[in-house]
Structure 1
Amino acid sequence: MKTTGDITVVGAGPVGLLLACELALQGVRTTVLERLTTQADTIKAQMISGRTYQMLAMRGFGSAIDAVSEAESARLAWRPTGATGHFAGLFKLDGLPLVMLTQQALERILEARALELGVEIHRGVEVTDLGFDAGFIVGCDGGRSTVRKLAGFDFPGTGPTLTGYQAIVDLEGDLPRGWHHTPTGVYACGPLQGRIMTMEYDGPPATRDATRETLEASLRRVSGHDVRITAVHTATVWTDNTRQATTYRRGNVLLAGDAAHVHSPFGGQGLNLGLQDALNLGWKLATGDDALIDTYTTERHPVAARVLHNTMAQVALTRPDPHSRELYSLFATLLDLPDVRKHITAMVQGTDIRYDTGSDDPLAGTFVPGLDLSDGKGTSIALDGAEATVRPDGYIAEVTR
């Protein structure tokens, strides 16, 4: 099936907006449908990985991100010394630097660009069936994706086992900065001023509401500190529900981001995973070529599966029972070994991703940073004494020596 008609993206979060930009760059008429009437202000991701920053910079977003990141970094109340990320709260990763960028700020940058490119964005539109006229429909509508359910995608995995809260609050009382493990769970304070997080391993949340009272009670239980929350600016409830669609395509319907995979937010990998889905899918989908579009699942499904595996491992490491505490202590020692640290860092940051191009050349399938691919097209470059053909998403498709 080769379809060259218009494309509809469901969901105006960062994944949907970036995908719309990618399609518009390729000259495809794209419409975005969003259930919410305005941008959600609930606290979400606070940073992007160094690799994601490199990929967005190749599309010309670098200057806009830098300006926002500099302003947001000034609001940091605490930053781990010498670390560029963590694994299960162990701040020992040392790869590409993280970039301070809230999800809301990123959405504003992407939406402005999408509108410049002629993307139609319709808010306050709830999708109830997939019968509308579109060449392809892409569900970027989150972990509870309506598109995924309507299209009949299988979504196997494991159910939730913990209750997590994240919020920006006004706090009275002394609460130490950083991550802390206690006999009742885990809590964190920072790096943003007023940002708190708690995790309790006694089952899934009874409700998705995060009131001042429930936040304060959880923080007191887990931290053991006599603190009082006087105001809540934004809050969310999360858990470790871990699932992945068995395929990312069914006919003319595709999934990207949380619609295709959900997991706990450990390591801040979800936003990066979804944005890189969009960069992989956009140029392929624009061609309408069946075989090329199918490589989206082939390439991205294993990447997400690895994120699901490592986030489940991080949950296991942070449980407060005695056996898990000993495992955590052992893992902390292992992360001091350079080879282990390098492996975990690359896994969490996605810097070791190599797509199978059918070539044994060590450069084939790897990402090339620093290229200007703002036109959405690929290029050819001289690299390590070879001629490399680079795809529109910055990965090397072919090497000639």
Structure 2
Amino acid sequence: MTHVLIVGAGPTGLTLAVELARRGVGMRIVERSPGPATGVRAKGLQPRTLEVFDDLGVIGEVLATGGEYPPVRAYRGEEVTWEGRMDRLREPSPRAPYPNMIVQPQWRTERILRDRLAELRHRVEFGAELTGFEQDESGVTATLGTGETVRCSYLVGADGGRSTVRRRLGVPFAGSTSENEHILLADVRTRDLDRDHYHMWAVAEPGMHLSLCPLPHTDVFQIIAAHRGVDDLPAVVASYAPHVRLDEVLWRSEYRVNVRMAERFRVGRVFLAGDAAHVHSPAGAQGLNTGVQDAYNLGWKLAAGSAALLDTYEAERLPVAGHVLRLSTDLHRREDVVLGDGTDQLGLAYPGSPLSVGERGGRRLGALFREQRGTGFLLLGDVTDDHGLRALPSPEGRPGVLLVRPDGYVGYHGDESGLGAYLSAWGIAAPPAAR
């Protein structure tokens, strides 16, 4: 019997698989597709996601193969009407070591995570579609299209917006789908544009736009085109930019803008994460990143195995997903989007969580990243003001402590005498002595 069965091997499922594998948790990850995805789909990795990837041991490869967003060149037909940045580049600091969003094709992000998973002696089981499951008090019995039956303690649906897991749970997916606005995604080659700019066109009709973004360390551009029911890609491009010819279309897909969120992120021993739990407009590059954060939140809790801890997954992530959904929807409706204005996910926190105690409880620590690497808690005593982390003194004048969760958020902030009761209540083993 495996402890966790993960359904779906996109960025969310792979992040969760790495999280569990590095903790030695018995897990399997299955994917209905016959092999790795090839299209770009999402391409923006936010600063908070980069911090997670640092902890997972893949940040070096992510940065080496990705790149910062190039400056924008806006057009009307062939005429350049504006040049500038849609983000504000910031210098790394002790509180934000990766302050800028990185362009990284989703297929490469997934490949990097699969490679890390292989280092941990696990692999994705492609061509293994979940066809059904039943749960009882002691576990979940899942059936695969291969004919295999899998018994697991927990099942996680990270299987996208059309999630089989969510549908079989019967969880409503409330929200809206734009019936008029169609989005074409494509990976293309063209010799008619330079690779130093993010090329963009818009027309008078609200919501209609075309963009071509050069993908780092490739000769490929990603096209995002909004249109009204026209599915001929060269014709769509020509309607905005008659001078741009497509030499080759490597991959393409089409979708309608969905803004939806599941009413529940957990039903018994089954969890939803990533697009299975919430789907966003592409504005602000929030979807993939929110899914990674779901997995990072859930992974250490599944490893700890405490029923009380697992209850906090939905309590923490559902409000965050709702906030991010509203943000991405607002950005989608605006024309003056500046990436980084609330999109970096560094300010997201869990102040109302039952896991959060004290003034700093639920807040991202935002410091001591090297010390946080790994799978355990970090207990801090009377920390110097260099990091702005000095714990509040107790009424008796003794210094307080900060207990940092494995996902980088402060769990307990207060008098050391209350720490034992906190750990006991959540079934958490005592961490090492305070630093």
Give the shorter-chain TM-score range: 0.7 to 0.9
Q: Which residue of 1 aligns with 2:71?
A: 79
Task: Name the CA distance, whole Å, in 2 between partners of 1:215 and 1:163.
Answer: 12
Task: Name the CA distance, whole Å, in 2 between partners of 1:228 and 1:80.
Answer: 20
Higher share in helix:
1
Check if 1:51 corresponds to 2:48: yes
Q: For the structure 1 residues 63 and 171, does the alpha-carbon distance in structure 2 shift closer, same or farther, using more than 3 Å as the test?
A: closer
Match of 1:354 among 329, 344, 349: 349
Instruction: Return the structure number with greater relative CO, CA threshold 8 A, min gap 6.
Output: 1
Check if 1:235 corresponds to 2:252: yes
Task: Name the CA distance, whole Å, in 1 between partners of 2:72 and 2:6.
Answer: 38
Check if 1:169 corresponds to 2:213: no
Q: Which residue of 2 aligns with 1:31?
A: 28
The letter for the 2-side match of 1:348 is T
Higher radius of gyration, 1 or 2: 2
Check if 1:196 corresponds to 2:196: no
Cα deviation, residue 368, structure 1? 2.7
What do the CA deviations read for 1:5-45 (whole angstroms, capped 9, x no partner)?
A: 52100011121111011112232100111111210101222
**Contact map agreement 1:364 1:399 (CA 8 A) in 2:** no
Cα deviation, residue 98, structure 1? 1.2
**Contact map agreement 1:243 1:263 (CA 8 A) in 2:** yes
1:32 aligned counterpart, secondary structure: strand
Q: Which residue of 1 aligns with 2:120?
A: 117
Alignment map for 1:214-363 (pairs within 5 Å): 214-221=232-239, 223=240, 225-317=242-334, 328=335, 332=336, 345=340, 347-356=342-351, 357-362=355-360
Task: Name the CA distance, whole Å, in 1 between partners of 2:85 and 2:265.
Answer: 32
Task: Name the CA distance, whole Å, in 2 between partners of 1:154 and 1:18.
Answer: 25
Task: Name the CA distance, whole Å, in 2 between partners of 1:148 and 1:363.
Answer: 31
The letter for the 2-side match of 1:248 is F
Gaps of 5+ in 2: 74-83, 91-98, 134-140, 143-150, 392-400, 416-435
Q: Which residue of 2 aligns with 1:152?
A: 170
**Contact map agreement 1:34 1:125 (CA 8 A) in 2:** yes
What do the CA deviations read for 1:238-271 (whole angstroms, capped 9, x no partner)?
A: 3211110111100111011111111111111111
Q: For the structure 1 residues 225 and 177, does the alpha-carbon distance in structure 2 shift closer, same or farther, using more than 3 Å as the test?
A: farther
1:254 aligned counterpart, secondary structure: strand
Q: Which residue of 1 aligns with 2:370?
A: 371
**Contact map agreement 1:47 1:268 (CA 8 A) in 2:** yes
Q: Which residue of 2 aligns with 1:380?
A: 379
Higher share in strand:
2
Task: Name the CA distance, whole Å, in 1 between partners of 2:198 and 2:46.
Answer: 22
Aligned-residue identity in percent:
31
Task: Name the CA distance, whole Å, in 1 between partners of 2:333 and 2:64.
Answer: 38
Task: Name the CA distance, whole Å, in 1 between partners of 2:267 and 2:361.
Answer: 32
What do the CA deviations read for 1:152-172 (whole angstroms, capped 9, x no partner)?
A: 111111112411112222336
Q: Which residue of 1 aligns with 2:147?
A: none
Number of residue pairs the alignment of both structures matches: 354
Cα deviation, residue 373, structure 1? 3.9
1:313 aligned counterpart, secondary structure: helix
**Contact map agreement 2:101 2:344 (CA 8 A) in 1:** no
The letter for the 2-side match of 1:169 is V
Q: Which residue of 2 aligns with 1:135?
A: 153
